[in-house]
Structure 1
Amino acid sequence: MTPNAASASTGSSGPSRRSFLASTAVATAAVAGGMPLLSACGGSDSGSRDGTTSGKDAKKILPTYVASNVVTPDIPARNGSSIGFTSELDMAGLKTSVPKKLGKGGKVTVMSPFWGSPPKADNAYYTGMNDLIGVDVVWQNQDGNTYEQKLGAVLASSDVPDVVVVPGWNMNGRIPSAIISKFADLGPHLSGDAVKEYPNLAAIPTDAWQRSIFGGKLRGLPMPSAYVSNIVPLYRKDIFDKEGYEVPTTADEFHALAKEITNAKAKRWACLDMKWTAWNIFGVLPGDEKGLMWNLVDGKLINRMETQEYLEAIEWTRKLFADELVHPDAKLGKSSATDPGPKFAAGEFLIYNNDISQWYSRTAEQAAQNPDFEVWGMDLFAHDGGTPTFWAKNPAGIFAFVNKKASKSVIQDVLAVANVTAAPYGTKEYMMTNYGVEGTHYTLKDGVPVKTDQGNLDVLNAYVMIASPASTLAHPDFPEVARGQVEWQQKVGAHTKKSSFYGMQITEPSRWANLSSDFEQLEDDIIRGRKKIGDMQQAVSDWKSKGGDQLRDWYQKILDENGSAAS
């Protein structure tokens, strides 16, 4: 499969949304882990009530979970990981998970973000998928980099397509309340045992459906993800082995290794900006969704920005820059920070952190031209070498919504589409969704499906955005990478905790919507030496007085009403 999309963030536990540039990345975001969500929503149909829906209220709404038995994974999910497939893909023995077309032959318009140049409307991938499903899906692809503006305009109008895909990082401003007022309640079709008509949707984990409750109704079709961190410190294992470098197990060891690696005269530096790894190794609460930034500590809700760990992580990252151990492009914000592939392959830096999907994409792109190249994922560690604490991200981050004005037959056609796109790995439906038409979009090389140039153009950013199976890692061409990825997740998952608001779909009152919006820039300014740690301490003090303490009380009320998800 192709790699997953990069994560998005405001407070940055993952790549920022500005760096979400999709290559083949988004094409199979669904099966490699999805993206964390920035902000969320809950409340009444009018959109007037803030908060969340959980506990007994949510149980009445959620679909019944029925595990899929069509294909058995080689590595079952454990500790919040994805499931993994490492054995040879039996192309001649692909299973069928949708034995008959559920589509009624209707037309469904879908607006979705797209990164790259959208293919022609009548391309063989779109026509092949529509024939498989029995629905005429018409794509209204929009530029993913400016999608939020387009989304806001469309949702403010009366001309809303049948289906609208909304990534979590675009749920800002009035978009959350528009989701509640503009989109249909899918509960009558999916809640409880009703979902069993769509077996692939029934196999989506309950946590992902919990995230799909907006305004007290089941409105979203989710893209599930593993809840463990998706940010991996990737390193050049081939060069480490050759030079005898030891993988570090503490923050100080990392710094010492970075000094050993760096030789500016030879155009080699240790790493890029390691802030996202710093959050993990110092045990900082996630910053990629507002609800996850809070946790109950000794009876009081604490925000990540108020913790000592937050300041320590920033200071450690700042020192890597100050000691000139970071590639100069990262300080200047140049392309290698967002497209690290070429200079990483050239050995200009040996370590960088990014979405777990890049473990595969770096491997795949270098396999033919650089056979000695080997990238691997560095195990995360506690900064002091003790027992680490990592924090769970939310288990779904992109959603598809159906227009509230859609007829019953349109809703049924949309669910027919979703039931195909959520098919598990190892099925005919999965192959069609993720690889397209054999001979046109992929060919078999030694029994392994390999995308053609046409496949890389057409099979991208589309049907996987409607709904997806449980988070899956599978690379038929590099099964050892899939194994490494899942095992990495499981090791991290063994030390991963769920904070107080894990899994809850929350919207904050609009008066506080921009309260923490400047913190990511301030973090980067401090790390690059343009501001001081004292500036952050002052910013946190200002944040508290300008509404942070009131926001704490508001979250406490949610906690009192719903209980904590912490574990």
Structure 2
Amino acid sequence: MNRRQLLRWTAGLVPGSIALQVLAACAPSAPTAPSAAQPRGVPLAKLLPAHQPIQGPSPELPGSADGLVNPAWMKYPRASVFQSVKEPPGSGADVTVTLQTNNPPWPPFEQNAQWQALNKALNARLNPIVIPFADFDQKWAAIQAGSDLPDMMCTITRPSTPIVPAFLEAKCTDLTPYLAGDAVRDYPNLAAIPTRAWKSALVNGKIYGVPIPLAPYFWWFWVHKEILDQAGLRFPTSAAEFKETAIKVNKPRENTWAIASEGGSQYAFSTVNGLWNSVFKAPNYWAVDADGKFSYVFETPEYRQAMLYAADLFKAGLYHPNSLQYNTLSARTDFMGRKMIFRFDGLQASPYWGGYNAPPMDPPSLITLVPPFSADGVSKAVYYFGRPNFGITLIKKAADARVKELLRILNFIAAPFGSVEQQLIAYGVEGKDFTYDERDNPVLTDQGHAEIGNFGSAWYSLTRPATAYYSPADPQAPGVYQGYEKLLAPLGVEDASIGTFSPTFASKGTILLDGIGGAAQDIIAGRRSSDEWDQVVKDWQTNGGSQIKSELAASYAQLTSG
């Protein structure tokens, strides 16, 4: 299988055929004009858009009512494709948007059938400013500093891409009057976006953006199960058992190690992003107690245990020696090549490694999920949900009619799997960008690959529909992934800070994480002593951490009042 085929197959697992997961939304009528700024202290239940799923083609494997288990289709619902947006949402005017993508530049408008068809369907002249993903932080900083803003601006939810609150208040539309509560029902596909995604679109108790949603399952613990089977080993069920298993499969002389991580303070040998911190039950980034007091993952005794455990694994030579140099893609490539047996990796842009696309090996590769386990193997295991969205799309300040028009366009883009609109954005124009194969699966043509790209449609960097599993290459894959979700959903724990806001974290969070996460990584790798840890934590608190905790507690109190 070549790289293009692999990426095409992977994309098919998610709505819109791209590696990010998206949500849709439903909405009631918005007021005729925006009200004054949302008052502080509005309870979260009244602030968030009212969730209303869209009824489209029935999946062979339905999801759960709470949205934590996503629906799955074993085949494309060609005969049931429906129109979710009845009227063109635009007024015929120009609409300038920023998009981000890993794809190469697409053909110009005159040669781009999908772009032309999208403009016609929207009754709008879309003028995209396409930003390469690798350049996004720099470009986003320039956009915030500029005076001539695009109509709609995509962002990325991560510490290295801060959104300055003063920028939002001065230049962006407060969408609360249009989307809070039942107001979202004017935009049914937006109302179908899961509630958890809207929580991280809040800033200072206001809705400032439309989410680009993600399913909760961002990081997964994978294993080459064929190696466990060959050695007569079972899945580990405790921290001690994991080390015993890791020692048995660790074979450096054969260029194979037990486990690997990517380098960086945001990972610190998987003690921060959800593996060892969940095993030892340190917080999923942030925890809040009954009194509304926040604790950061690094402050807890459970994190110290996780850090020292990872250090023990490293000292035993069980981590791949490139773990400090790997990025996510290079570590993933080596895992697929079985240079390590266990790997904590994200689902986004990851293939179903146990399927037909596994590279030829002896024994054949069979990569599958490791069921979560607790450190002691007795207490209930937990799984840490990932961030709720990839980013949010902001709308620059504009007249009421213009804001509603732009929201209608986003509502079109958020159309669900199995809709005419989703088909256009994910696959383009039938006969030009895609054709149907003998099993009624849409298959991109060469023109479709050029216009939509191997990493999926860049239009989905504005918003997306809710996750739906579908794979034209391997009909069994959707059921496998849904099975994983059924295992993980009851164990899920959210980051307690979702929905809250700290201006200090927005401005200093990356710098502070580099300090404390970098120190943890150095201790695990034996480059610093664990005796320094208490002082490292105190420095984090003094340099802004305590202020962040105070601001999060105040924001949390506002959102939970009433």
TM-score by length of 1: 0.81
Distance 1:198 1:394 in 2: 24
Q: What amino acid is aligned across from residue 82 of structure 2 in structure 1?
A: K
Distance 1:53 1:70 in 2: 38
- Deviation per residue, 1:155-208 (Å, 9 max, x gap): 112111111101111675563331232111334444444433322122223333
Indicate conservation of the 8 Å contact 1:130/1:137, yes or no: yes
Stretch deviating more after TM superposition (142-151 or 183-192): 183-192
Counterpart secondary structure, 1:330: coil
Pick from 99, 106, 119: which aligns with 2:106? 119
Q: State how 1:33-432 maps to structure 2 within 5 Å.
A: 55-56=42-43, 58=44, 61-73=47-59, 74-77=61-64, 81-122=68-109, 123-169=112-158, 175-227=164-216, 229-273=217-261, 275=270, 276=273, 277-287=275-285, 293-296=286-289, 300-331=293-324, 333-334=325-326, 337-360=328-351, 362=353, 366=357, 372-386=364-378, 387-404=380-397, 406-408=398-400, 410-432=402-424
2:20 counterpart SS class? helix
Q: 1:439-518 maps to which residues of 2 (within 5 A)? A: 439-447=431-439, 448-459=441-452, 460-498=456-494, 500-508=496-504, 513=509, 514-518=511-515
**Once the two structures are superposed, what CA deviation does each residue of 1:474-523 show, in whole Å capped at 9, x if it has no partner?**
33433433223233233222122345434335443777654444122222
- Counterpart CA distance in 2 for 1:507 and 1:95 is 43
Kindly state the Cα deviation for residue 222 of structure 1 after the two structures are TM-superposed.
1.0
Among candidates 529, 536, 556, match of residue 532 of structure 1? 529
Structure 2: state its 5+ residue gaps. 1-7, 25-34, 262-268
Matching residue within 512, 516, 521 for 1:519: 516
Q: Which residue number corresponds to residue 553 of structure 2?
A: 556
Question: Cα distance, 1:55 vs. partner?
Answer: 4.3
Deviations 1:55-97 (A, max 9, x none): 43x5555434332112344231367624121332222332222
Aligned partner letter, 1:548? G
Partners of 1:148 and 1:32 in 2: CA distance: 24
Identity percentage over the alignment?
24
Q: Tell me the matched-pair count.
A: 523
Post-superposition offset of 1:118? 2.3
- Contact 1:102/1:413, CA 8 A, preserved across alignment: yes
**Structure 1 residue 430: Cα displacement:** 1.7
1:426 maps to amino acid:
G
Q: Is this contact kept in 2: 1:294–1:301, CA < 8 A? A: yes
| 3-state SS, counterpart of residue 146 of structure 1 | helix
SS of equivalent to 1:167: coil
Q: Which runs of 5+ in 1 are unaligned?
A: 6-23, 34-43, 288-292
Separation in 2, partners of 1:418, 1:25: 14
Is the alpha carbon distance of 1:306 and 1:437 closer, same or farther for their aligned partners in structure 2, counting shifts above 3 Å? Answer: same
Could you tell me how far 1:398 is from its partner in structure 2? 0.9
CA RMSD between the two structures: 3.5
Alpha-carbon distance between aligned partners in 1 of 2:524 and 2:388, rounded to the nearest angstrom? 30
Separation in structure 1 between the aligned mates of residue 402 and residue 356 of structure 2, nearest angstrom: 41
TM-score, normalised relative to structure 2: 0.82
